[in-house]
Chain A
């Protein structure tokens, strides 16, 4: 598993203030009577990997389409590289849509070069960097093969290359891991980390918490178009109190800071197995200290921190995770 990377020093500054690669304020989008995105705000810095989490229909794709100027907001403001989104930013943006496809009768290198040119590269530069990417993806030998002749996994790599060919400073990935085989999932994680190390801001939407947990430095949780949380993964996990698995006498259930104690199994010597839910703001260390002060014999004391999955279910609801098991 690749190592998460630290947030790099912010390199872009403007008038003494750090300039976000992407900033969104009060963003709202309506489709007729349907409110798809509701007063959304966030910002993404250079070198940051930003997770955009939410269930199906949460408004992730709509938000990303507005950032890319494919659709326009009903109200609110978006700034990409300090200005309103338009195609002048194309050369600095890489985009991998959720629904993917390529021109089947073009060769791998042609299709990469075509997208490179659409992103304002010269034909020669697009082809040269396209070949570099294909080499990196172990596809150099199939550069001239038509897309229709490639396997699905190979085509996925070519698709990724079309997003990376212009060396983007903002990489937007909409459900990037969806439909990828495990090998290509690993490749994609490497490329996300590589882009961030190179100073690019990476925004990716997902409802697969494992990827977000592994890669994101900050994340945003959306539910029905509204932001439910924004912060680091640790801050997200802190949204839910820890639980403690303990082997202790019944008196442990009466300690201050224990909100609820569930006896799971009685043991000999007056001990039981307990699951303790802590009150908000109480840490496992506090409870351990109080247990020691009371002289309670502890055979086992193990803190279980909330996962992003738990946080997601708590904030967004279990229905939103439909499909996670498939991903």
Chain B
């Protein structure tokens, strides 16, 4: 057996797969998804605030309270986003006393008032700009959630069915209609308010829960304020009662951190590796199978076997398949790394800690070993099937049970890891060689002892060696047995060590 022949076969197998359009589609799928995902997300995000027409026929104070509430929420949202930005880029030195430099709290109205008093978002950004390095990206201003707009003349005065009809027309108008002729929500506070506290809402779609809750909270506060004043409290006292609220201190991990979040984030790459191994195997296995069947159906085997041994052919095919798998892995991980280090924001926040479990030398060795051995362990089954089947349809008959046997437990495994479960299923799968590579790779994020890794590696190596011996016999003895559908008895006979 010569390495030269093995490499020649491997190179041809590799080149054959690389020439397939489906290979490039698969290879580019992940990087393209990574590239267009954020763009698609941005484009799908409805940047335009929800337009709310408020008709207040009870004097206007309720409408004013609602407008103030939405403005407050908008400022709190901006403050939270700014705080996260400052923390991510360590910009607290720009103004250590500013609320956005204090991350251990749920921002109260007082914080928001202080933020406003200091000049709001524009003033804060001006201060941050002075402390910011040139390579730190600009703050991405959060879009407003709601825009309160005044009712048009006819709508403001319409009554009964005419009002309902106009409101419906407004909320059902298409997005292309001029702004003045459309709204997402129309809210009517009747002239009988507060005696009749009914508030009517017309919506083109189901209104957001946060909107309904906000309206309810504001108007409840307004009603209670009026009741307190009516019962003898001064407006100031009533306001004080309404404003009484606990200050909630919140300690949060840095972006991408935190116990549960960290566990999930750390498991992303290991799980992705297990998934890539699974997908890569299925795809390259299918390509390899097509190649093997082409060799059989086009009567190529005899010509090839006159030049090289069946073992060289088999190992070459395995090496070619491994090359395909590693190429896909390299391309996908490379794309992820580029995204992690060339991008900023939430994606980088997730990908950087996600890559952490696979960056230590031990983890890299483990990753490469189990990926490669997993590829060989499963690919050899595909190679053997390729030697048995004369056509793709015949191959499917052998392939289906094999794929199900591999995929189903791996699907359960991924679910278990995502749920933070390392119970009996995960433990058992670690030691069953056909699933060992997937399980060990998937567990790299949640933690697996060195002893388990070494033990599983030894078991897997022994399994692959046994597979090589048995399936190489099957491969050798099935290659030229064309047109014969072997039964179980024949298959077992072919596993035995006999001269041709």
Contacts and interface: CB of A to CB of B under 8 A. Distances in A.
A70 interface: yes
B306 A101 contact: no
Interface string A57-71: 000000001001011
A118 B480 contact: no
Given A114-B8, A114-B12, A95 B500 contact: no
B303 A104 contact: no
B294 interface: yes
7 contacts: A71-B480, A97-B299, A99-B299, A100-B299, A101-B303, A103-B295, A118-B8
B50 interface: no
B304 interface: yes
Contacts of A114: 8, 12
Interface of A: 65, 68, 70-72, 87, 90, 93, 95-97, 99-106, 114-115, 117-119, 162
A244 B499 CA distance: 54
Contacts of B2: 87
B208 interface: no
Interface string B50-64: 000000000000000
Contact of B500 (A72, A90, A117): A72
Nearest to A96: B303
Contacts of A99: 299, 302
Contacts of A90: 306-308
A93 B499 contact: no
A118 B500 contact: no
Of B2, B12, B309, most buried by chain A (CB within 10 Å of CB) is B12
Interface string B283-303: 000000000001101111011
Of B16, B302, B304, B500, most buried by chain A (CB within 10 Å of CB) is B302
A95 B8 contact: no
* Interface residues on chain B, size class: 20 to 34
Closest 6 CB pairs of A and B: A101-B298, A99-B299, A118-B307, A71-B500, A97-B302, A101-B299
Given A103-B294, A114-B8, A70 B19 contact: no
B405 interface: no
Contacts of A70: 302, 305-306, 480, 500
A72 B300 CA distance: 20
A162 B300 CA distance: 12
B309 A117 contact: no
Nearest to B2: A87
A105 B8 contact: no
Contact of A118 (B16, B297, B298, B304): B304
A189 to B, nearest CB: 21
A102 B303 CA distance: 9
A104 B500 contact: no
B8 A104 contact: no
B314 to A, nearest CB: 14
Contact of A97 (B5, B295, B303, B308): B303
Contacts of A118: 5, 8, 304, 307-308
A155 to B, nearest CB: 10
B8 A87 contact: no
A115 B303 contact: yes
Contacts of B309: 87
Contact of A68 (B12, B294, B306): B306
Of B297, B304, B306, most buried by chain A (CB within 10 Å of CB) is B306
Interface in B1-55: 2, 5, 8, 12, 16, 19
Interface string B472-500: 00000000100000000000000000011
A119 B4 CA distance: 11
B298 A102 contact: yes
B298 A104 contact: yes
A118 B499 CA distance: 24
B305 A103 contact: no
Given A103-B16, A105-B16, A87 B307 contact: yes
Contacts of A105: 16, 19
B500 to A, nearest CB: 4
Given A90-B308, A99-B299, 10 more contacts: A72-B500, A87-B309, A99-B302, A102-B298, A103-B298, A105-B16, A105-B19, A117-B8, A118-B5, A118-B307
Given A103-B16, A105-B16, A119 B307 contact: yes
Contacts of A103: 12, 16, 294-295, 298, 300
A87 B308 contact: yes
Of A103, A105, A106, most buried by chain B (CB within 10 Å of CB) is A103
A130 to B, nearest CB: 15
A249 to B, nearest CB: 61
Nearest to A67: B306
Contact of B300 (A71, A87, A102, A119): A102
Contacts of B304: 118
B306 A97 contact: yes
Contact of B499 (A68, A72, A95, A100): A72
Nearest to B305: A70
Contacts of B5: 87, 118
A97 B306 CA distance: 9
Contacts of B480: 65, 70-71
A169 B153 CA distance: 103
Of B294, B303, B480, most buried by chain A (CB within 10 Å of CB) is B303
Interface in B301-323: 302-309
A70 B2 CA distance: 16
A125 to B, nearest CB: 14
A162 B16 CA distance: 19
Contacts of A65: 302, 480
A243 B19 CA distance: 64
B16 A115 contact: no
Nearest to A29: B500
A159 B307 CA distance: 14
Contacts of B302: 65, 70, 95, 97, 99
A320 to B, nearest CB: 22
A282 B305 CA distance: 50
Of A101, A102, A106, most buried by chain B (CB within 10 Å of CB) is A101
B294 A104 contact: yes
B306 A95 contact: yes
A119 to B, nearest CB: 6
A293 B478 CA distance: 70
A165 to B, nearest CB: 11
